[in-house]
Amino acid sequence: MNTDVSDTTADVTARPLIELKDVTKVYGQGHAAMQALRGVDLRIEEGDFVAVMGPSGSGKSTCMNILGCLDTPTAGSYLFKGVEVGKLSRSQRALLRRHYLGFVFQGYNLLNRTSALENVELPLIYRGTPTAERHGRARKALEAVGLKGWEGHTPGELSGGQQQRVAIARAIVTEPAVLLADEPTGNLDSARSREIMELLCTFNRDQGITIVMVTHESEMAAYAKRIVQFMDGLVKTDEQKGEVA
């Protein structure tokens, strides 16, 4: 099987960017087994903006971990650009994460003693990007999130909203196909939360980045084009909202 997810043939181009088919995930064995996903079917098209909601234990975080290649299904299929991710080796999944996926977390996950510029450069370092190009792309990404002039500041010198902007710049500096955001506004007040959501909408609209976001806040989910509700390891509802103003 060809594991280069950038090599799509005519029969693959009609497929969604992401597709889960009857995905189950079981943790533990025997009496201790816990079924986190019970047969999830989900299609995400290129350029979509999906908010994933549901109570604790509903399976939404497990689903996100599978989409981010941080975990693998017990059964079922996960296809990315038509390629069966479950058949990729560990190193191939790492390459998929590195070249196609960007991640934003509730806790920012920045290196505390490292400048904003250096934090944003990290994914490019892992790619082996030359220094001059790395600096230029990181500066451009910081400017795109409204942090031009803050390149030399460490996370401790930035507000929570600014730290999340740095995290978003780090996620988009590689120009990913998909941005996976796990409660990206969870640690922010309402004003900063709206700023972050407007920023995500801009990248989705202007750069065509597909966004999949876990959130428990209906106000934040309202920014998305679709809202997928998980319950007891299954997709309970999938509401298509159309374009967001």
Predicted TM-score (pTM) of this structure: 0.90
Structure tokens at 145: 């999130």
Per-residue pLDDT of the chain (245 residues; tens, 9 = 90+): 344 555 443 444 468 999 999 999 999 988 889 999 999 999 999 999 999 999 999 999 999 999 999 999 999 999 999 999 999 999 999 999 999 999 999 899 999 999 999 999 999 998 899 999 999 999 999 999 999 999 999 999 999 999 999 999 999 999 999 999 999 999 999 999 999 999 999 999 999 999 999 999 999 999 999 999 999 999 999 999 755 44
Task: For residue 231, give its domain range.
Answer: 10-240
Does a structural domain hold residue 3? no
Structure tokens at 213: 């976001």
Number of other residues whose CB lies within 10 A of the CB of residue 4: 10
Residue 92: the pLDDT is 94
Closest among 237, 231, 239, 238 to 59, alpha carbons compared: 231
d(CA 184, CA 26): 27
Does a structural domain hold residue 97? yes
At 13, the amino acid letter reads T
Query: Which residue stretches of 88-210 are H helix?
Result: 90-100, 116-127, 131-144, 160-172, 190-207
Does a structural domain hold residue 62? yes
Does a structural domain hold residue 31? yes
Q: How many domains does the chain have?
A: 1
Question: Tell me, what CATH number does 108's domain have?
Answer: 3.40.50.300
Q: Which residues contact 210 (CB under 8 A, 6 or more apart)?
A: 17, 18, 44, 45, 46, 47, 48, 49, 177, 178, 179, 204
> How many Cα atoms occupy the beta-carbon half-sphere of 216 within 13 Å?
9
Does a structural domain hold residue 245? no
What is the rounded (10 degree) CA torsion for 159, 160, 165, 166?
80
Residue 4: the pLDDT is 58
Does a structural domain hold residue 100? yes
| DSSP-assigned states of every residue in 175-235 | --SEEEEESTTTTS-HHHHHHHHHHHHHHHHHH--EEEEE-S-HHHHTTSSEEEEEETTEE
Does a structural domain hold residue 104? yes
Does a structural domain hold residue 5? no
Residue 15: the pLDDT is 85
Residue 12: the pLDDT is 45
Closest among 131, 134, 109 to 187, alpha carbons compared: 109
Query: Burial, 18: exposed, middle or buried (Cβ in 10 Å; 0-12, 13-18, 19+)?
Result: buried
